[in-house]
Amino acid sequence: MPKRRNFIDIESDSRIRLERNTPITNFSPIGTINNLNYLVANETEKCYNEIESVYSIYDPTRNYGKELDNIGFMFGRGRKSSMTAIDSTYTNFYFYLDPRTNVSVGVLLDRLYPITTHYNMRKKLFDEGYTNSVTSPTQLLIPAGTVISNDGVTISYTTVDNVYLSNGTSETYTPVIASVEGSTQNIQSNVLIKHNLNQISTLKDISKYILCSNRYPITNGYDGQPDEDYRYNLTLGRINYGSNEVAIRQTALSIPGVRNVLFERSRFGNGTYNLIIEGISPIISEGLLNMVKERLNVLSPSNESIFVNRPEYLGIELKLDIITSLTSDLISLKESVRSDIIEYINNLPIGGTLIWNKLIDLIMEREGIEDFILNYFKLGKYDIFNKINKKQIVLRPINQRADYNEKMYCDSGMVSLCCIQS
């Protein structure tokens, strides 16, 4: 993709060319030439945005959600969906009679429901299919769909098959499946020790003698793959260079002061990486860049080059008149508002969007502020060496999005505040 040019670059370049190559000298903010120049710059920036949109369709680092899934489909790399923990074997989870009874199912039923006094109950068990005989039962049904859980009832599974406890066996096995998706339902051995058979009125009395457990862990529950992990996997799949991007990324992130790393492949030709470093501090120091370069040099083979740079900084300047009901401590109020604005802007990530309503909320949340008047809202190219905000343009109070390699910056000298008592 050709190097992107934004409104500031286009407008400034057009003005310089007009000044050098034409007799035009009047660039008054309300003049015709200046307005035409702004119009051309705005429309040209839209063209760059559309080109970038087409380019980004195939770039996983610039897509989210369904668009990211579409890219994965084109490359034959589907996203891993969440998986429900399940054990489909007949050797793990089991029901069994409490060994303290030391009797078979038939004997236990005879003791609980003597035929001379509990014939109706025995018949009900038979009619509902829980036993195989009214007079001489030899097995007891435990229905599919029985809910089983851990001691704290924070993990629950459901049985899959109908199973029977019978005179000839001391235990019976059934497959089980977790009630919800994800890894939170993964369990170790002997965790599923409770059941809800006591909620079935016909089995309420005998349920206290039926126990359960799982012999082995069940750990195949899986959380759905989030965009960040899926995007990274797709990105790795498109890499044809010899350098190990995983090692490069991990090495860079292991350096104190580095928050994130943005990759630009082939930025300076084939076989090149350009790493844009996002730091914990808003401005990346030369010392941090040099440290990253030194660490990464050992990972770069002779036929490849790794470049390490800071993002392009966009300086944000604001001038506000704060209308307040307070009559004292106005200096503290201004400093608090200034600090909130600077913290919000400097914590925006590379390529982030300044949300104007969020900025309004930060200001209006301060106690004593009734309203404010915006005098100007400027954006420029911030020179971190000379600490000057160059090529400023005045913006309307609307959301502003930085380019993918740009980061917004603000400091105390760029926020001018004045308190007006209401």
Amino acid at 185: Q
Give per-residue pLDDT as tens, 303-318: 567 889 999 999 999 9
Alpha helix (H) residue ranges in 113-244: 119-127, 204-207, 227-237
C-alpha closest to that of 161 among 261, 92, 246: 92
Mean pLDDT across 274-296:
88
**Residues of the chain above pLDDT 90, percent:** 47
Pairing of strands 406-409, 312-324: parallel
Rounded (5°) CA angle 239-244-249: 100
Give per-residue pLDDT as tens, 186-233: 999 999 999 999 999 999 999 999 999 999 999 999 888 887 777 776
Q: Could you give the C-alpha distances from 381 to 7, 46, 152, in angstroms and in order?
A: 12, 20, 58
Per the prediction, the chain carries an average pLDDT of 86
Residue 72 pLDDT: 72
Residue 108 pLDDT: 93
Rounded (5°) CA angle 275-402-350: 35
Structure tokens at 288: 């941090």
Whole-angstrom Cα distance, residue 284 to residue 277? 8
Mean pLDDT across 5-22:
82
Sign of the CA dihedral running 281, 286, 291, 297? positive
Residue 33 pLDDT: 81
Helices 7-21 + 32-56 axis angle, to 10: 140
Whole-angstrom Cα distance, residue 354 to residue 309? 23
Structure tokens at 96: 């069994």
| Ordered DSSP codes for 217-253 | -B---BPPPPHHHHHHHHHHHT--SSS-HHHHHHHHH
pLDDT above 80: residue 71:
no
Task: Assign domain 242-310 to its CATH superfamily.
Answer: ANL, C-terminal domain (3.30.300.30)
Positions of E strands within 280-327 = 305-309, 312-324
Give per-residue pLDDT as tens, 365-404: 888 899 999 999 999 999 999 889 998 999 899 999 998 8
Residue 170 pLDDT: 82
For residues 405 and 314, the answer to whether their CB atoms sit within 8 Å is no
Residue 295's Cα: distance from chain center in Å? Answer: 29
Please provide residue 390's backbone torsions phi and psi, each rounded to the nearest 5 degrees: -95, 160
Amino acid at 307: F
Instruction: Tally Cβ neighbours within 10 Å of residue 91.
Output: 9
pTM above 0.85, yes or no: no
Amino acid at 37: N
